[in-house]
Amino acid sequence: MSQDNIKKSIAKYAAKYLTENTEKNCIIGMGTGSTVNYLIDELGKIPSASKHFKGMLSTSIATEQKLRDIGINILTPKDIQCIEIYIDGADEINSDGLMIKGGGGALTKEKIIASMAQQFICIADNSKIVDKLGKFPLPIELIPLSEPIIIQNILSIFNNAALSARRRDSITENHGIIVDIHGLNLSSEDAINLEAKLNQIPGVIANGLFTGNVKAKYLVTNNIDGIVIHSYV
Ligand code: A5P
């Protein structure tokens, strides 16, 4: 099966789960990326879906537009304290449910909305499952002011000459810039420590390490037999 078809089958499973195993009028946080896009497409095929949910919080303009297109009510984080489920893809996920996210540039909103959720359900094909985090470059969103100093402060944490920071061309929805850190190889403990250190650098808006209260509780993925669910403590 192609990677896209695997993502579609994961998305189909997740759409059925969300409409059949959640309370009516619940609130869902919806991530960003191709797997999420397939999930929204699948929700659009379920006639009851738009009425089942009170609404959804969206993590990007692209996701919001797709949700509106299938009739989902869009809610704003300002009006809500807590949501039942946050559902999103990942760029990498390890055996503890820790992730690298932000390949699509939406990491800041993703992290905020994930932090409001009682549980994070990750939907990711099994190519995203890794032993160590960091083969996928770690995105860090910065305010553009004094970019060279901020990047210098970020790189000084690592003390590793093999690392490099590459700036993306595009500006984010928050008017930030994203640099991707290449060459990391992080255990869970490393990832937890690094996330905390990056959060302390002035000018860093958010980093793409999802640990602590934003790590995954469940992973919907695939193996050779079909869909499998992992749960993390
Ligand atoms: C978006 O910013 C990322 O966090 C996505 O969750 C990630 O890039 C996964 O994308 P795909 O579903 O396209 O693999």
**107 Cα–ligand 1 center, Å:** 9
Ligand 1 test: best mutation among 4, 7, 30, 34, most atoms within 8 Å of CB? 34
pLDDT score at 160: 74
Residue ID of nearest Cα to ligand 1 atom 8: 103
Single pTM value for the model? 0.95
pLDDT digits (tens, 9 = 90+) for 17-57: 999 999 999 999 999 999 999 999 999 999 999 999 999 99
Ligand 1 lined by 208 (C-beta under 6 Å): no
Ligand 1 lined by 106 (C-beta under 6 Å): yes
* 110 given a catalytic annotation: yes
Question: Which atom belonging to ligand 1 lies closest to the Cα atom of 34?
Answer: 13
Ligand 1 lined by 29 (C-beta under 6 Å): no
Q: Is the Cβ–Cβ distance between 133 and 98 less than 8 Å?
A: yes
**224 Cα–ligand 1 center, Å:** 22
CA distance between the termini of the chain: 31
Ligand 1 lined by 92 (C-beta under 6 Å): no
pLDDT score at 135: 97
Over its length of 233 residues, how does the chain's per-residue pLDDT go in tens digits? 899 999 999 999 999 999 999 999 999 999 999 999 999 999 999 999 999 999 999 999 999 999 999 999 999 988 888 899 999 999 999 999 999 999 999 999 999 999 999 999 999 999 999 999 999 999 999 999 888 999 999 989 887 777 888 999 999 999 999 999 999 999 999 999 999 999 999 999 999 999 999 999 999 999 999 999 999 98
Question: Which atom belonging to ligand 1 lies closest to the Cα atom of 106?
Answer: 2
Cα 165–30–127 angle (5° rounding)? 55
**5 Cα–ligand 1 center, Å:** 16
Neighbours of 198 (CB within 10 A): 19
Identified catalytic residue from 92, 110, 141, 195:
110
pLDDT score at 113: 97
pLDDT score at 145: 86
- The tokens describing 225, both together, are 């037999």
pLDDT score at 1: 85
Taken as a whole, the chain contains a residue count of 233
pLDDT score at 159: 72
Alpha-carbon gap, residue 230 to 232, rounded angstroms: 7
Ligand 1 lined by 104 (C-beta under 6 Å): yes
pLDDT score at 163: 84
Q: Give 26's DSSP letter.
A: E
**Paired strand residues for 26:** 53
Alpha-carbon gap, residue 123 to 229, rounded angstroms: 9
**35 Cα–ligand 1 center, Å:** 7
- Collapsing DSSP to helix, strand or coil, 14 comes out as helix
Q: Which residue is listed with tokens 């409001």?
A: 116
Question: Which atom belonging to ligand 1 lies closest to the Cα atom of 123?
Answer: 12
Alpha-carbon gap, residue 9 to 191, rounded angstroms: 30
Alpha-carbon gap, residue 63 to 57, rounded angstroms: 10
